[in-house]
A and B are shown apart, each in its own frame.
Chain A
Amino acid sequence: MPAMPRITRCSLGLLLPVILCLLLGRPDSPRAEAPQEYQVKGAMVFNMAKYIEWPADAFSGSGAPLVVCSVGRGPFTAALEQYRGRTVLGHPVQVKRVQPGEELGECHLLVVSGVEKRYLAGIVDQARRRSLLTVGDLPDFARLGGAIGLVEVEGRVRFEINVKAAQQSRSKISSQLLKLARIVREGD
């Protein structure tokens, strides 16, 4: 193999990062930044509350908090934090972190993200026994028994709704939300 002269090789080694730097350092044209996936997912959970009919006894009063519980780690659960305190339909949003297996008594909505798949069945089952609506972004969340799955399709976040799981919850999903979603069946 023909070896390049040493000078050429050294200068190549130096030049490349320099070019890289110059390109890097140059301020990009004004950035029309697309929002981050998890910011959108967080906003979706916050917004979704408007499309859900809660049972009459779900809130103790008109100003009672709407409790969004989240299980798991990662950026999705972190993105919810920023909606803490904002109001939906007159209810201030409260975000509560729970561990797998913990009591879900006061939750109105359970957000599942960043948990290992083998935990999912347990979490979904627990939510079902509490008639609690679940939202998650694990692949196949809705198919595996979750009510509302958030999936990324060609750079957009879309809904998948497991109608059967949703019906088992005490809350009712509005037809507007159903229209936006892909309906997923559980194989049983």
Chain B
Amino acid sequence: MKKYRPGLRLALAGSLLFSLLCGTAVLAQDVAESPSAPDLGAMDLEQLTNLKVETVYGVSKFEQVVTEAPASVTVVTSDEIKRYGWRTLADVLKATRGFFTTYDRNYSYIGTRGFNRPGDYNTRVLLLVDGHQINDAIYESAAIGTEFILDMALIDRIEIIRGPSSSLYGAGAFFGVINVISKSARQIEGVEVGGSWGSQQTGSGRISYGKLFNGGEFLISGSGLSSRGNDRLFFPEFNDPATNNGIAANMDRDRSYSLFASGHLRDFTLAGAFISRDKRIPTASFGTIFNDPRTNSNDRRSYLDLKYDKAIDGTSITARLFYDEYRFTGNFAYDRTADDPVFYPASYMNRDQHLARWWGAEAQASRQLLPRLQLTGGVRFRDNYEVELPNYDLVPGGRRLDNSHENVFYALFGQAELRILESLILNAGVRYDHYETFGGATSPRLALIYTPVEGTVFKLVYGQAFRAPNAYELYYNDVFNGYATSSALRAETMRSYEAIYEQYYGDVVRTSASLFYNKIDNLISYQDVSPTQVAFANVERVRALGGEFEIEGQWSSGFAARSSYGFVSARDQATDQSLDYSPRHLVKLNLTAPLYRKKLFAGIELQGVSRREFSHNGAQVASPGYLVTNATLSSTALLPGLETSFSVYNLLDRRLEDPATTDHMQNLIPQDGRTYRLLFSYRF
């Protein structure tokens, strides 16, 4: 294993400091030569409507949402996605204060607030697209990798809301909510084609069409991606001639295609999305045969969502009707062992063919009841009418386990926002969720938002959240009987305390500091039932104390910078040890600089994650800390309608490794070295 080089670290720190200094100098210069704008007040309206404007996206655009929300919020814009060359939601989260991700070369797992449980499929973060829940009805997974349902080019902005939001959103919103807002036809009018080419024979294509018409608009888009991946992944644990000397050759292939359509007419918005993604699994997880291309996974996720949005006599009403589907097909190649039936061939396939279908409805109303009191209330109903988790061997007359379920769920919630004083808001919310599987849960949240002077915001937030056991945890079993079902699982619960201080310096710079303490009980984890069998159980209790600090600025010159530091100490109460997979420190730096007339930009980002310790098959191991640099050169409108970018990821070709779950033989999963991507889009 390569040692962390202090020389390199110093060099990086030095260069960082240097660029910051230099940035400051540029800014000073910027302030000095404040542009003498034409007198807009003297123009008439027609002239004004024809004026090309510089749109502001950043610190101030979402000020209201960010300052008065009872949480710490980050807004990521489509411009940032372009300037930093982010390929997936995982890339976005890696650059976001207090977040990191782990990739096991099949799925990406979200780490936040000291928590990152590879293999939990992101059940503790709620992922929404335009308010529609993406977490599925089996694993409750928030898909943030190439299996995410929306092409990154179709994202208008992403709101990342930290802390428990169960009082509004229910079970999934344990550590936070990620709401992705799609572009509308207003942003893509006409035909737009996009494509990319990069390392590892990665290519993608997209075609989008948007149209505005009287009373409505319509957008449709289709995308495809194919990547050979890292076709010579080396795993020392398999370094044996019998297993190709530890080399997984051409086992990292990733292919997907997706469709998205949305349109609105008057007060109705109809949206539909579909993605199918195929991924080979190079890690030989779950004891499968090493370097066997038959081992792969397919995720298919789709939904239809009809939304009604209207203001009636001072009450704003939103209602939603939705239909969702999720299919997972996992193919696993195994060698015959003594435990297998004698008529089995020397090697055979085992398959998970999971399917969930659900529909539901929700309604929400909000009204100003008294001059200082805003009330919001709503109901939600969901019918998971088909949940199937069969596991079987693809051998005629082989073993088969069928596993079908159905359940319904409903929730009621309310929130009151009282302006006690001009500068003080009390936000109180409560939600009751009822599950057929384990019963009910009540989640309150109380927040005080204090703005003593314009630009200074203090928030105190207390929240309770829960996470319902999902179908996978409750019911999953396989033909090997390696998993025992655990139908008596209860919900995980959390009590969270948070203090937030945000300061705005003009429209340009913002700082944010927060301190949080989380008490989590009944955490659902694997537990050994017998030497050969595991089951989920409510076993762990965790206490996590942490803080985050961030400074960001966006100047009219086009220069933007954001830097953050996060610290967390998460401890397992039973063992009094640090929580597994939990890094204590996270550092981030993102810089954008205009190189030529706000048409050519350089974006550079640094992400540091400290050492992550964990126990793995009985041994205490760790993944080394790392600092990774990505750089992107992007251009807008060099030619009318054309946007291009060129990115280098892991610029210094650092060796990066993420922790592996106990489903893997190996402790560490190697990540990509230096890779490139060229991206373009052209609007006709």
A9:B652 contact, CB within 8 angstroms: yes
Asked whether A67 is an interface residue with its Cβ less than 8 Å from the other chain, the reply is no
B313:A125 contact, CB within 8 angstroms: yes
| A residues 5-58 touching B (CB-CB < 8 Å) | 6, 9-10, 12-14, 16-18, 20-21, 23-25, 27-29, 31, 33-40, 42-44, 46-48, 50-51
Asked whether B12 is an interface residue with its Cβ less than 8 Å from the other chain, the reply is yes
Q: Which secondary structure dominates where chain B touches chain A?
A: mixed
Asked whether A74 is an interface residue with its Cβ less than 8 Å from the other chain, the reply is yes
Q: Mark B33-59, 1 if CB is under 8 A from A, else 0.
A: 001011011011110111111111000
Q: Mark A82-102, 1 if CB is under 8 A from B, else 0.
A: 010010000000000001111
| B residues 221-276 touching A (CB-CB < 8 Å) | 266-268
Asked whether A180 is an interface residue with its Cβ less than 8 Å from the other chain, the reply is yes
Query: B8 is contacted by which of A9, A42, A117, A144 (Cβ under 8 Å)?
Result: A9
CA separation between A33 and B40, bound complex, in Å?
13
Asked whether B653 is an interface residue with its Cβ less than 8 Å from the other chain, the reply is yes
Q: Mark B358-376, 1 if CB is under 8 A from A, else 0.
A: 0000000011101110101
| B-chain residues with CB within 8 Å of residue A38 when the two chains form the complex | 56
CA separation between A136 and B309, bound complex, in Å?
18
| A residues 108-129 touching B (CB-CB < 8 Å) | 114-126
Minimum CB distance partner of A42 in chain B = B40
| B residues 96-118 touching A (CB-CB < 8 Å) | none
Minimum CB distance partner of A113 in chain B = B64
| A-chain residues with CB within 8 Å of residue B35 when the two chains form the complex | 31, 33
| B residues 13-34 touching A (CB-CB < 8 Å) | 14-16, 18-19, 22-23, 25-26, 29
A-B CB contacts (within 8 Å), total count: 224
Minimum CB distance partner of A176 in chain B = B45
Asked whether B67 is an interface residue with its Cβ less than 8 Å from the other chain, the reply is yes
| A-chain residues with CB within 8 Å of residue B49 when the two chains form the complex | 44, 156-159, 180
A6:B7 contact, CB within 8 angstroms: yes
Give min CB distance, B664 to chain A, whole Å: 20
CA separation between A12 and B11, bound complex, in Å?
10
B64:A20 contact, CB within 8 angstroms: no
Asked whether A164 is an interface residue with its Cβ less than 8 Å from the other chain, the reply is no
A185:B50 contact, CB within 8 angstroms: no
Asked whether A75 is an interface residue with its Cβ less than 8 Å from the other chain, the reply is yes
Asked whether A133 is an interface residue with its Cβ less than 8 Å from the other chain, the reply is no
Minimum CB distance partner of A159 in chain B = B49
Which candidate, B81-89, B532-540, B589-597, is the interface stretch facing chain A? B589-597
User: Size class of B's contact patch?
Assistant: 35 or more
Asked whether A61 is an interface residue with its Cβ less than 8 Å from the other chain, the reply is no
Minimum CB distance partner of A78 in chain B = B507
B19:A116 contact, CB within 8 angstroms: no
Give min CB distance, A48 to chain B, whole Å: 7
CA separation between A184 and B23, bound complex, in Å?
45
Give min CB distance, A89 to chain B, whole Å: 14
CA separation between A158 and B653, bound complex, in Å?
47
Query: A43 is contacted by which of B43, B46, B419, B596 (Cβ under 8 Å)?
Result: B43
Minimum CB distance partner of B23 in chain A = A24
| A-chain residues with CB within 8 Å of residue B38 when the two chains form the complex | 35
Nearest 4 A/B pairs, CB to CB: A125-B314, A122-B368, A187-B266, A101-B371
12 further contact pairs, Cβ within 8 A, besides A13-B629, A34-B53: A1-B673, A2-B653, A9-B653, A17-B15, A20-B602, A33-B556, A37-B54, A43-B41, A46-B41, A75-B61, A115-B64, A125-B314
